[in-house]
Amino acid sequence: MNIALVACSDNPEILWNVFRLGNLMLEKMDDVTIFLNGPSVSYSQIATKEFPLLDLAKLFTLSEGVLLA
């Protein structure tokens, strides 16, 4: 199944959940694309210790997920 997730928020918790959901779907053998729009493009700058967005994004791309911005 092909899945597309669209994120357009600069809230780190929302982006954390988008990446978590994307990684979970990749584990289930789905093809997943995350499209970052607007303020979500700067996810690397809004990452916190509580919401490690960079780690989740790296795992997502290394697991053959497609990240578009």
Q: How confident is the model at residue 1 (pLDDT cuts 50, 70, 90)?
A: confident
Considering only CA atoms, which of 42, 35, 32, 40 is closest in space to residue 63?
32
- The half-sphere exposure of 12 on its side-chain side, counting CA atoms within 13 A, is 13
pLDDT in tens, 27-41: 988 899 999 999 999
User: Helices in 1-69 by DSSP H: which ranges?
Assistant: 12-27, 43-46, 53-62
pLDDT in tens, 8-66: 999 999 999 999 999 999 998 889 999 999 999 999 999 999 999 999 999 999 999 99
**Global pTM?**
0.92
